Amino acid sequence: MTYLLLIVGFYFLIRGADIFVEGSSNLAKVLRIPTLIIGLTVVAFGTSAPEAAVSITASLGGRNAISIGNVVGSNICNLLLVLGVTALFKTVHATKKVIVRDYLFSILSAVILLIMVADEFMAGNATAIISHSEGLLLLCFLGVYLHALILDAFAEKKKLEVEKRKFSWLDIGWIIAGIIGIVIGGNLVVDSAVKIAQQFHVSENLIALTIVAIGTSLPELVTSVVAAKKGEADIAIGNVIGSNIFNIFFILGLSASITPLVVDMQSLIDIIVMGIAEILVYFLMLKKFRVSRRKGIFMLALYASYLTYIVIR
C-alpha cells in the first residue's frame, strides 16, 4: 500500500502542476499581470505548500532536523535538480530583472539565514537557535519582497496589451484544483517515502535532506518542466526563485515564530552549501541570462555529488 500511495502521489503532482500552470497563465493574461509575477508569487507559494506543511508540522512536534533540513534541502534541490532537469527539456531563459532583483533577493535570504545561525557557532556554542524574534524578522523580509512585486505588477500592467479573452471562473477553478492536487500529491509522496526510508533505519536529518527535500520539491520540478515545455519560461524560472524565497522567509520564519528552531553543526554546513549553490547558479545564469542543457547537466552532477556527500556523512 505504501508503494501504491507513492505512485498515486506522483500522479497527483504531475496532473495538479499541469492544470495549475494552465490556469495561472490564463489568469495572468486576462488580468494583464506579467506571468513572471504569477510565477514568483501564486505558483511559487502553491508549489511550496508541501514544504510548509512538512516544516511547520515538524516544528510543532519539535523535530527540528526535519523542519530545517526540509527547507535547506529543498532549496538546494530547487537550484541544482529542478533547474538542471528543466534545462534538459528546454533551455531556461531569464530576464535581466529576474537576475538583478529576484535572484539577488534569493541570495539575500540565504545570507540572512546563515548570519542568524553562524554567529552563535562563532561564539563557541555547539548549537544555534533561530528565535521567535528572528522568525518574525524573516517574515518582515518576505513582506518587503512582496511589496516590491506588487509595485512592479502595477507598473507592468500599464505596458501590457488588453487580453481579448474574457474572464472565466474556470481559470480560478483550475488554479484551486491544481493546488489541491499538488498538496495531496506532495504529502502522499513524502509520507510514503519517509515510511520506506525508515525501514532502512536512516537518520531524520538524512531523510529531511534527501527523501523529504526531493519529495517536497517535486511540485517545483514538475511545474517548472511543464511550464518550460509550454513556453512559459517566466513561470519556470520564477517558480524556482520564488519558492526558495518563500521557503526561507515564510516557512522558516513562520516555523521559528511558532517555536524556536535549534540548528546543529551539520545543518550549518548544509546552509553554507545552499549559499554556495545560490551564488554558483547566479554566475551560471549571468552569461546570456539562461540555463542551457550543458549547464543543466553540470548542475545535476553537482547535486549528485552533494547527495553522495551527505549519505557518506
How many CB atoms within 10 Å of residue 167? 12
Tens digit of each residue's pLDDT (9 = 90 or more) over 185-242: 877 877 887 788 788 788 777 888 888 888 878 888 888 888 888 887 777 888 889 8
Tens digit of each residue's pLDDT (9 = 90 or more) over 151-171: 877 776 665 554 455 667 888
Tens digit of each residue's pLDDT (9 = 90 or more) over 72-83: 999 999 999 999
The amino acid that residue 159 corresponds to is K
> CB under 8 Å to 183, separation ≥6 — which residues?
16, 49, 50, 53
Cell reading at 174: 483550475
How many structural domains are present in the chain?
1
> CB under 8 Å to 50, separation ≥6 — which residues?
182, 183, 186, 187, 190, 215, 216, 218, 219
> CB under 8 Å to 175, separation ≥6 — which residues?
20, 23, 24, 27, 42, 46
Q: In the 8-state DSSP scheme, what is residue 43? A: I
What distance in Å separates the CA atoms of residue 35 and residue 183, rounded to the nearest whole number? Answer: 22
What distance in Å separates the CA atoms of residue 160 and residue 152, rounded to the nearest whole number? Answer: 13
With CA atoms as reference, report the closest residue to 237 among 285, 181, 280.
285
Q: Mapping DSSP to helix (H, G, I), strand (E, B) and coil, where does residue 262 land?
A: strand
Q: What is the CATH number of the domain that holds 72?
A: 1.20.1420.30
Provide φ and ψ at 93, rounded to 5°: -95, 145
% of the chain with per-residue pLDDT over 90? 36
CB–CB of 275/214 below 8 Å?
no
Q: Mapping DSSP to helix (H, G, I), strand (E, B) and coil, where does residue 201 land?
A: coil
**Predicted local confidence at residue 160, as pLDDT:** 52
CB–CB of 86/300 below 8 Å?
no
Highest mean pLDDT range out of 66-70, 154-158, 244-248? 244-248
The distance from CA 187 to its chain's CA centroid, rounded to whole angstroms, is 15
Cell reading at 50: 508541501
**Predicted local confidence at residue 82, as pLDDT:** 93
Q: What is the DSSP string of 118-140?
A: HHHHHTT-SSEEE-HHHHHHHHH
Higher pLDDT, 274 or 290: 274
Range of the structural domain that residue 301 is part of = 2-312
What distance in Å separates the CA atoms of residue 111 and residue 272, rounded to the nearest whole number? Answer: 9
The amino acid that residue 205 corresponds to is N
